[in-house]
Amino acid sequence: MKENKHKWQMLAKLPALLCAAMLALLGSACTTTTIDEFRQGETGIEEGEAVVILGRRQGSNYETRAEFVQCVGERMSRGRDGIYVIPEQEFVDSLFPWFEPRTAPMRSTDLEQLMAQPVVTDRINEYGIRYIVWLDGQTETTNRMGSMSCSIGPYGGGCFGFGSWEDDSSFEARVWDVSSYQNVGTISADATGQSYMPAVVVPIPLLARVEANACSSLANQLKTFVNGD
């Protein structure tokens, strides 16, 4: 009787033990981030000057997510060397319709023509904007592998299986100097990582935080670039 009880206790613990073994083998999903910078002009920012970060959304097949643009802006404004960043939606609304997706300037040379509009010049001067940063990019999921099955029975339900996939976040930031109407540099961030989903009764996602890492790395590099360090 005691042997049967002990056997059932071990069987009840089996899913948890298998999960622990999977986690020990896999560890945590890791991410590799690469940052490239191409400088084309001198930079620097004075007290009272600001930056606005805008997402490119002219493409037909994708658009830069507003959440990523907001993430980069928030991280650039942190710390002692933080830079004042104008919220994207506030800026776009205040300069309607010049920075809407269909009418926004595509090249830095278009900025000089746009600044010929007194309303645009006055509003940008009110904000104290020194740099306009255009963000372009997205996150893609590829190389999905594995399978998972779930079932429900008289005594409960659960899932069993294993899946994995690769996430790749690629973003590019072009920095326009409002004072000279020039593109002063380009910074790109590429983050890749492998995510896992083992399941023994309960699926346990081990996600690679590629977009969060791309945001943090890109924001830190932009802050250094704009400050002229």
What string of DSSP letters covers the chain? -HHHHHHHHHHHHHHHHHHHHHHHHH----EEEEEEEEE-S-----TT-EEEEEE----SS----HHHHHHHHHHHT-STT---EE-HHHHHHHTTTTTSTTTS-SSHHHHHHHTTSHHHHHHHHHHTEEEEEEEEEEEEEEEEEEEEEEEEETTEEEEEEEEEEEEEEEEEEEEEETTTTEEEEEEEEEEEEEEEEEEEEEE--B---HHHHHHHHHHHHHHHHHHT-
pLDDT above 70 for 2: no
Give the pLDDT confidence score for residue 33 in this predicted structure.
92
Judge whether residue 81 has pLDDT over 90. Answer: no
Q: Give the pTM.
A: 0.79
Tens-place pLDDT, residues 142-173 = 777 777 677 776 666 777 777 777 899 999 99
For 186-221, what is each residue's pLDDT tens digit? Answer: 999 999 988 877 776 677 777 678 999 999 999 999
